[in-house]
A and B are shown apart, each in its own frame.
Chain A
């Protein structure tokens, strides 16, 4: 299960597993996580479990609740987020981050009615505490890795096309996007794909195929090496990598 690592000024104090549907944080003793410090309000913030997600909500505390330096009212926690209250910080470690790699990701599962409590947009203290029962029922018990936003191919050096002939000779085109099409639609078109391990040219349409370094490419994608010369729709161009 997800957990928090409580520390003050860099020194770890303890690890707190998140077992309940709602975990309260505050100065008063009835809180699940009691932090006995005047900078912390009596009822400062609450962590609410919704399936595999954990929401952090500030309970109108005097000094506010911060995540990674930004003040928040309600925040969906990501693995590694640092929750700051006064001088204390709570580092959030998601359940998925604690599982060994190779666990089944992205598996579609059915959600049965009644398995999840209805959590209204404005969470009230009266909100159901049965989220814990629901999660432990195993209805959502998949170890989905955090689906990170797809990373653009930032690791590949940037490819550039320099037009060598025709009316646009001298012009340069930076291949920033995942796909760039070249040529004349309806006559001859090729696409250059930016992939993690390099740039690839593929024929899209037209009776004749692109020529790379003097050789006509087939139907399959062809990797472009630095300084490759491409001939397409009667125009010559050079592909090179910007260092």
Chain B
């Protein structure tokens, strides 16, 4: 089962209309079933360094990890390899960015958000930190899958703000978790069933801050036959609405099923790898 026969992925990133540089970073590999998006923060161009390190390190290390062992393999305690690998590689990337930030004054305080998706065995495992998002379009239903690690989300959760008020808040873009700003970071990791026909969107807040969710969903629904055009259209809408931040999108279209090897002896082999 070749993943890239069943998964179509498109990744695009744009500096927007206001910023002079792009501190977002994207990586997508249909063959590996991997998509990683990062939105960097920090003085000067440190954000670019942090997000670039995150996508490069995670992309390379996760690919190696899943070549060595299938994502669905389990260790002796029953923990799935995909979870273990995501935790380990996110910790490693966090350490690398944190070290770089400590060692160079121009990188002090740099960090990045992160959304990392692993498609395996008709499932999706997503790890995220910060306020970059994963959305899903399934049939007519478009919904946000990840919950932002942000001040606004905490205020909404505690009843302090309604969603409507949050749209007018001046406390936008204050994240409560980020990669590279502390020696340790806690990612949020979840598994979801995937159905053929699903379309996934990873995006930085440069998109969802400029374009309403229902417009994003409508665009995905209308242009799913042409993912490149769909990505271009989303970025164009963000820029037409002001483009006040870098905007990045990764689109993943699931064209069919992708079960892991099913034979009993293959499962046995996966156990012993």
Interface size on B, residues (CB 8 A): 50
A193 and B174 in contact (CB under 8 A), knowing A76-B165, A110-B111, A150-B211? Answer: no
Report the Cα distance A146→B173, complex, angstroms. Answer: 12
Verify if A82 is at the interface (C-beta below 8 Å from B). no
Q: How far is the CB of B44 from chain A (nearest CB, A)?
A: 12
Q: How far is the CB of A160 from chain B (nearest CB, A)?
A: 19
- Tell me which residues across on chain B come within 8 A of A17, comparing CB atoms: none
Complex interface residues of chain A between 143 and 166 (CB less than 8 A to chain B): 144-147, 149-151, 153
Complex interface residues of chain A between 8 and 64 (CB less than 8 A to chain B): 50-53
Q: How far is the CB of A189 from chain B (nearest CB, A)?
A: 6
Q: How far is the CB of A3 from chain B (nearest CB, A)?
A: 14
- Tell me which residues across on chain A come within 8 A of B241, comparing CB atoms: 150-151
- B160→A121 contact, CB < 8 A: yes
- B219→A76 contact, CB < 8 A: no
A109 and B175 in contact (CB under 8 A), knowing A94-B170, A146-B170, A204-B226? Answer: yes
Verify if A205 is at the interface (C-beta below 8 Å from B). yes
Report the Cα distance A105→B212, complex, angstroms. Answer: 18
Q: How far is the CB of B156 from chain A (nearest CB, A)?
A: 11
Report the Cα distance A110→B206, complex, angstroms. Answer: 16
Q: Give a binary string over B161-194; 1 marks a CB under 8 Å from any A CB, 0 the rest.
A: 1000101111111111010010000000000000
Q: How far is the CB of A1 from chain B (nearest CB, A)?
A: 12
Interface of B is mostly: loop
Verify if B55 is at the interface (C-beta below 8 Å from A). no
- B172→A106 contact, CB < 8 A: yes
- B218→A177 contact, CB < 8 A: yes
Report the Cα distance A238→B92, complex, angstroms. Answer: 58
- Tell me which residues across on chain A come within 8 A of B167, comparing CB atoms: 147, 149
- B229→A108 contact, CB < 8 A: no
Verify if A171 is at the interface (C-beta below 8 Å from B). no
A108 and B41 in contact (CB under 8 A), knowing A51-B174, A78-B168? Answer: yes
- Tell me which residues across on chain B come within 8 A of A181, comparing CB atoms: 222-223
Q: How far is the CB of A242 from chain B (nearest CB, A)?
A: 21
- A108→B173 contact, CB < 8 A: yes
Q: How far is the CB of B51 from chain A (nearest CB, A)?
A: 11
- A110→B175 contact, CB < 8 A: yes
Verify if B65 is at the interface (C-beta below 8 Å from A). no
A144 and B173 in contact (CB under 8 A), knowing A51-B151, A105-B245, A108-B205? Answer: yes
Among candidates A109, A113, A149, residue contacting B173 with C-beta atoms closer than 8 Å: A109
Give 3 nearest A-B pairs by CB, closest first.
Answer: A52-B170, A150-B241, A106-B245
Residues of A within 8 A of B (CB): 50-53, 76, 78, 94-96, 105-111, 113, 116, 119-121, 140, 142, 144-147, 149-151, 153, 177-179, 181, 185, 189, 191, 193, 195-196, 202, 204-205
Residues of B within 8 A of A (CB): 18, 39, 41, 109, 111, 113, 130-131, 150-151, 155, 158-161, 165, 167-176, 178, 181, 205-206, 209-212, 215, 218-219, 222-223, 225-226, 229, 233, 236-237, 240-242, 244-245
Interchain residue pairs with CB less than 8 A apart (10): A52-B170, A53-B171, A95-B170, A108-B113, A110-B41, A111-B151, A120-B158, A121-B159, A147-B172, A191-B223
